[in-house]
């Protein structure tokens, strides 16, 4: 009995039970929707359970590492990530017209995934180093650290990941105290550079934006996804069509229904009531993450926690936004619910860091 208690204590020592509960509930919702979205395909569901277990183990491991050690990893991780990205640009495998994967002999990896964690870590580390003397040049330095990998990812091209990484980096900049004047300047500069961006964009990217503005322009091509997912959500109504009863999902009108568009399946079958509950669950998890962030003791932990929290939120917003037809279609999964191992691991790795911040003794910097 005492042994079990000891083991339990050992296992949960660095877990934040509030956050863990929220994550597990969302995962359970994810499995229920996935079962319906795959047409009761148990093998897909058990695959996803394995993905979740692996991700939970990763989270547990990370949560057990004190932040000082994680901090030491920031620079090497960033450099390795950057080298791999350059490797992709030079020797990457082309898949569906994009060069995103790198074959490193044993397996194929997608270095941009690694950068989703490495960049906020690196930037938080960078600001932590320059904590006392934060000047404009330090923000410029951080921006360079951000833009190098982002440009490499844009070249692949992978607009969705580039935007998400830029967002995660920008959150660090913002939380580190980037002056309002510069933010205003950036906004104006961004608006001014839109036409430039438009001209250097790939055709498929332009098409996606045009399709967002008017999906009916191309109902069988690029607009098909948006039209079908909007129909699925709208036809769900207030109470939804019921689990496994969504016609859009069950009769395969929805594209990518177990991955990027799984929210449409959920929304069609559980209606506005389901959406309300899901948004609420996400909001609770985000709120808990915000509390952890607010209580973090060092510049590094604050910045990394804030960035992870806001990036988590960004995934949710961009995914739901694109599925419901108010944002262009970028390949962003719905955190903790979409099918897929990589994003699950990345996401829980972030939560692991948050738990580590919350549960390790808060050291005052000396």
Partner 1 sequence: MKRHVELRNHPVELHKFRFRLAICACFVLVLFLILYVRFYYLQVSQQEHYYTLAEANRISISPLVPNRGLIYDRNGRALAQNYSAYTLEVIPSKIQNIESTLDELAAIIEITTTDRQRFRKLLKESKRFNSLPIRSRLTDVEIATFATNRYRFPGIEIKARVLRQYPEKEVVSHIIGYISRINDQDLEQLERNEELNNYRGSLHIGKIGIEQSYEKQLHGVTGFEEVETDAAGRSIRVLSRTPSIPGNNLILSIDLGLQEAAEKAFGERRGALVALDPNNGEVLAFVSKPGYDNNLFIGGIDQENWSLLNNSIDRPLNNRALRGVYPPGSTFKPFMALAALELGKRTPEYSMSDPGYFSLPGVERRYRDWKPGGHGRVDLHKSLVVSCDTYYYSLANDLGIDNIHNFIGQFGLGKKTGIDIEGEVSGLLPSSAWKMSQYKQKWYAGDTISVAIGQGYNLTTPLQLAFATMIIANNGKAYLPRLVKQIQNSETGDVEDIPGKLLYSLNLKPRNLEIVKNALVDVTRPGGTAAKAAINASYTFAGKTGTSQVIGIKQGERYNEKSINERHRDHAMFIAYAPAENPKIALAVLVENTGTGGSTAAPIARQVFDYYLLGKLPEATVAKLNESVEEHVHDHL
Site string for partner 1, 303-342 (x = CB under 8 A): ---x--xx--x---x--xx--xxx----------------
Q: Tell me whether residue 150 or residue 320 sits nearer to partner 1 (CB atom).
A: 320
Binding-residue total with partner 1 (CB under 8 A):
47
Q: Looking at beta carbons only, is 100 or 241 nearer to partner 1?
A: 241
Among 177, 185, 219, 221, binds partner 1 (CB under 8 A): 177
The SS3 of residue 39 is coil
Per CB under 8 A, the list member of 75, 210, 284, 290 interacting with partner 1 is 290
Nearest-angstrom CA–CA distance, 315 and 48: 19
Q: What is the closest distance, in whole angstroms, from the C-beta atom of residue 194 to partner 1 in the complex? A: 21
Q: 23-46 b/e with 16+ CB inside 10 Å = b?
A: beebbebbebbbbbbbeeeeebbe
CB atoms within 10 A of CB 341: 14
Which residue's CB is nearer to partner 1, number 112 or number 314? 314
Q: Residue 101 has which token pair?
A: 């994967």
DSSP string for residues in 219-281:
TTTTHHHHHHHHHHHHHHTTT-S-TT--HHHHTT-STTTTTTTHHHHHHHHHHHHHHHHHHHH
* Choice between 123 and 320, CB closer to partner 1: 320
Q: Residues 47, 205, 235, 244: which binds partner 1 (CB under 8 A)?
A: 235
Stretch that binds partner 1, among 18-26, 55-63, 111-119, 291-299 (CB under 8 A): 291-299
Q: Scan residues 131-170 and list those touching partner 1 (CB under 8 A).
A: 131-132
- The piece of 22-30, 147-155, 215-223, 287-295 that touches partner 1 (CB under 8 A) is 287-295
Which residue in 76, 283, 362, 363 binds partner 1 (CB under 8 A)?
283
Nearest residue to 349 via CA among 80, 115, 58:
58
Tokens found for residue 264:
């449409």
Cα distance from N-terminal residue to C-terminal residue, the chain = 41
Q: Does 221 bind partner 1 (CB under 8 A)?
A: no
> Are residues 139 and 158 in contact, defined by beta-carbon separation less than 8 angstroms?
no
Chosen residue from 35, 170, 171, 261 binding partner 1 by CB under 8 A: 171
Q: What is the 3-state secondary structure (H, E, C) of 179-219?
A: CHHHHHHHHHHHHHHHHHHHHHCCHHHHHHHHHHHCHHHCC
Q: Is 222 in the site for partner 1 (CB under 8 A)?
A: no
Identify which range of 55-63, 152-160, 209-217, 229-237 contacts partner 1 by CB under 8 A.
229-237
Among 182, 210, 231, 281, binds partner 1 (CB under 8 A): 231
Residue in 215, 214, 233 with CA at minimum distance from that of residue 224: 215
Q: What element of type H or E holds 101?
A: strand 98-103
Interface residue with partner 1 among 129, 174, 210, 340 (CB under 8 A) is 174
Closest approach, Cβ 308 to partner 1, in A, equals 12
Neighbouring C-beta atoms of residue 355, cutoff 10 Å: 24
Q: Is 301 in the site for partner 1 (CB under 8 A)?
A: no
> Measuring CA to CA, which residue among 176, 170, 175 is closest to residue 145?
170
Q: Does 200 bind partner 1 (CB under 8 A)?
A: no
Q: Nearest approach, Cβ of 86 to partner 1 (angstroms)?
A: 33
Contacts of 351 (CB under 8 A, 6+ apart): 19, 23, 59, 289, 308
- Distance in Å, CB of 210 to partner 1, minimum: 20
Strand pairing report for 98-103 and 108-109? antiparallel
| Span 244-273, contacts to partner 1 by CB under 8 A | 247-248, 251-253, 267, 271-272
Task: Using alpha carbons only, give the angle 30, 32, 38 rounded to the nearest 5 degrees.
Answer: 90
- List residues near partner 1 by CB under 8 A: 131-132, 171, 174-175, 177, 228, 230-238, 247-248, 251-253, 267, 271-272, 275-276, 279, 282-283, 286-287, 290, 293-294, 299, 302, 306, 309-310, 313, 317, 320-321, 324-326, 365
């Amino acid at each position: 009995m005492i042994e079990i208690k000891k083991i339990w204590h050992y296992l949960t020592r660095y877990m934040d039970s509030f956050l863990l509960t929220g994550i597990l509930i969302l995962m359970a919702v994810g499995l229920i929707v996935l079962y319906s979205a795959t047409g009761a395909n148990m093998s897909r569901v058990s695959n996803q359970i394995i993905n979740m277990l692996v991700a939970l183990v990763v989270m547990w491991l990370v949560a057990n590492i004190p932040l000082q050690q994680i901090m030491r990893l920031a620079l090497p991780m960033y450099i390795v990530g950057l080298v791999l990205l350059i490797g992709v640009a030079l020797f990457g495998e082309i898949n569906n017209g994009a060069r995103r994967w790198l074959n490193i002999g044993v397996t194929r990896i997608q270095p941009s995934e690694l950068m989703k964690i490495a960049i906020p870590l690196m930037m938080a580390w960078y600001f932590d180093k320059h904590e006392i003397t934060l000047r404009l040049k330090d923000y410029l330095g951080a921006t360079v650290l951000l833009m190098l990998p982002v440009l490499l990812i844009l070249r692949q091209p992978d607009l969705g990941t580039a935007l998400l990484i830029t967002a995660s980096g920008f959150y660090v900049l913002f939380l580190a105290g980037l002056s309002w004047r510069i933010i205003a300047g950036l906004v104006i500069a961004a608006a001014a550079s839109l036409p430039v961006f438009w001209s250097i964009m790939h055709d498929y990217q332009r098409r996606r934006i045009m399709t967002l503005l008017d999906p009916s322009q191309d109902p069988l091509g690029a607009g098909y996804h948006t039209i079908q997912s909007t129909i699925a959500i709208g036809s769900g109504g207030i109470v939804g069509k019921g689990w496994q009863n969504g016609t859009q999902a069950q009769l395969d009108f929805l594209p990518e229904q177990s991955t990027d568009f799984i929210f449409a399946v959920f929304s069609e079958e559980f209606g506005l009531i389901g959406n309300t509950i899901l948004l609420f669950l996400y909001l609770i998890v985000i709120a808990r993450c915000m509390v952890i962030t607010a209580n973090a003791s060092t510049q590094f932990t604050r910045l990394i926690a804030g960035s992870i929290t806001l990036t988590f939120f960004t995934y949710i917003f961009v995914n739901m936004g694109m599925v419901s037809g108010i944002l262009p279609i970028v390949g962003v999964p719905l955190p903790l619910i979409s099918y897929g191992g990589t994003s699950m691991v990345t996401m829980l790795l972030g939560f692991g860091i948050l738990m580590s911040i919350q549960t390790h003794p808060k050291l005052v910097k000396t």
